[in-house]
Structure 1
Amino acid sequence: MSTIAIVYFSGGGHTHLMAEAIATGVHTAGHTADLLRITGEQITAGRWQDDGFMARLSAADAIMFGSPTYMSGVAAQFKAFIDGASSAWFVQQWKDKIAAGFTHSSSPSGDKQGTLLYLSINAAQHGMVWVGAADMPSQYQGKTDGINRLGSFLGIMGQSPMTMDGSPATLESGDRLTSELFGQRIAVAAERWTSQKVAVAA
């Protein structure tokens, strides 16, 4: 059984809902999901630090990175985490782990690809093995379930209209299903990759 760490920041709650749906997919595939939500309290004097988080990330077989897209990139709180995690980069602690990414914004484009590119480049710097999405957009298959409705393959994207009235965050049903399927995909990929590494080592 593989452990998939899902480390993310969520401001309005939408990215959190995606993370939970991804975790559901991981569980459906018969594996363990470890949800790690970044908070402002972990940042002191501009520097992110949480030794407990880092230990759990190092123990995981795969790490999925998630952030809302703010002004064409990751949230400042998530960037602080990335900088704080440079300690793992110095010793290549995450080398050869499976990696993947997800993001959310209030507009259909929102320049979300910029966030996914940033996440994948960071994973490459850590020597990780990036796994993208593989579901064809449902509209090209004559379906109405909304799977990959935004047509993203580098990672997955979610979109919900901006609300200013304080109402709770919601996740579009197609984005939820896309997230669940992505969780399943990463869990299966991690299991396959881990078993191959064990076979080679033997």
Structure 2
Amino acid sequence: MQKPKVLVVFYSRNSSTEMLAKAVAEGALEVGAEVRMRRVREVVGPDVMRQAPGWLENATEMNTKYEAPTEADAEWADAIVFGTPTRFGSISAELKAYIDGLGGLWFAGKLNGKVGSVFGSTSSRHGGNEATLLATYAPMAHLGLIIVPLGYADAAMFKAGTPYGATHVSQRDAVKPDDDHLAVARFQGRRVTTIARALHVQPQHVAA
């Protein structure tokens, strides 16, 4: 049987969102998905990046591990899971730039009916985690994605995360996602894959 194809496309500067992305991918793999992980690229140059300690170095390291996402990745996928840090209470410019670049696929109707989900992180408590996830729902709806929230459909949800998607508060990058938050992200990967399979993967019929 064909495997559900899941694209995990994220932006991360200091690895918190990256760790959630890896957990989402792990959850998807657990239930039989074919997964692509992609990191969107910076929209500013090295001079700006050097103003934030570690940004340039971390970006260089992560960009050697993950390919940049393309239109072809989005067209390939049965499900697209976006990951973003909160930037001033909303989606990061880096991830939004990738989404904005999908206009050609949108115009051709090639994203309609794909599964969509989102996870994220922020530096401070009440820094906009839930607002960011909900803000990402808007472009997902415009793309024609079938938005999949988490609800409270798994025991992990009663310890961490939000019903809108996995989240983490890094306390100014002093705290990395713990087992509870990673468990929510893995559940998100499993949930998205299960729904993508139901919508897009048809069983193969054996000829009599």
Identify the TM-score tier after normalising by the shorter chain.
Answer: 0.7 to 0.9
8 Å contact 2:39–2:69 — kept in the other structure? no
8 Å contact 1:61–1:98 — kept in the other structure? yes
Pick one of 168, 189, 195 that aligns with 1:183.
Answer: 189
Q: Deviations over 1:81-103 (max 9, x none)?
A: 12222222222221100100001
Cα deviation for residue 106 of structure 1 reads: 2.1
8 Å contact 2:150–2:165 — kept in the other structure? yes
Q: Distance in 2 between matches of 1:118 and 1:175?
A: 21
Q: Which residue of 2 aligns with 1:87?
A: 104
AA matched with 1:4? V
AA matched with 2:159? R
> What secondary structure is seen at the aligned counterpart in 2 of 1:10?
coil
Q: Distance in 2 between matches of 1:52 and 1:108?
A: 30
Question: Could you say if the C-alpha distance between residues 190 and 106 of structure 1 is closer, same or farther in structure 2, counting changes exceeding 3 Å?
Answer: same
Cα deviation for residue 60 of structure 1 reads: 0.7
Unmatched 5+ residue regions in structure 2? Answer: 46-66
> Does the alignment pair 1:35 with 2:37?
yes
TM-score (norm 1): 0.80
AA matched with 1:155? G
Unmatched 5+ residue regions in structure 1? Answer: 44-49, 139-145
Pick one of 20, 27, 33 that aligns with 2:22.
Answer: 20
Cα deviation for residue 41 of structure 1 reads: 7.0
Question: Could you say if the C-alpha distance between residues 129 and 108 of structure 1 is closer, same or farther in structure 2, counting changes exceeding 3 Å?
Answer: same
CA RMSD, 1 decimal: 2.8
Q: Which residue of 2 aligns with 1:110?
A: 127
Q: Distance in 2 between matches of 1:51 and 1:14?
A: 18
Question: Could you say if the C-alpha distance between residues 63 and 137 of structure 1 is closer, same or farther in structure 2, counting changes exceeding 3 Å?
Answer: closer
**Percent identity for Structure 1 against Structure 2:** 24
8 Å contact 1:148–1:178 — kept in the other structure? no
Q: Deviations over 1:61-111 (max 9, x none)?
A: 100111001110011211211222222222222110010000101223311
Q: Which 4+ runs in 1 deviate beyond 6 A? A: none
Pick one of 99, 104, 107 that aligns with 2:116.
Answer: 99
8 Å contact 1:136–1:148 — kept in the other structure? no
> Does the alignment pair 1:64 with 2:81?
yes
> Does the alignment pair 1:7 with 2:13?
no
Instruction: Count residues with an aligned counterpart.
Output: 182
Q: Distance in 2 between matches of 1:108 and 1:150?
A: 13
8 Å contact 1:133–1:152 — kept in the other structure? yes
AA matched with 2:72? A
Cα deviation for residue 3 of structure 1 reads: 0.8
Pick one of 164, 174, 191 that aligns with 1:154.
Answer: 164
> What secondary structure is seen at the aligned counterpart in 2 of 1:70?
coil
8 Å contact 1:100–1:131 — kept in the other structure? yes
Q: Which residue of 2 aligns with 1:46?
A: none
- Once the two structures are overlaid, the 10-residue window that deviates more, 6-15 or 151-160, is 151-160
Matches within 5 A, 1:112-127: 112-127=129-144
Question: Could you say if the C-alpha distance between residues 111 and 5 of structure 1 is closer, same or farther in structure 2, counting changes exceeding 3 Å?
Answer: same
Q: Distance in 2 between matches of 1:163 and 1:80?
A: 24
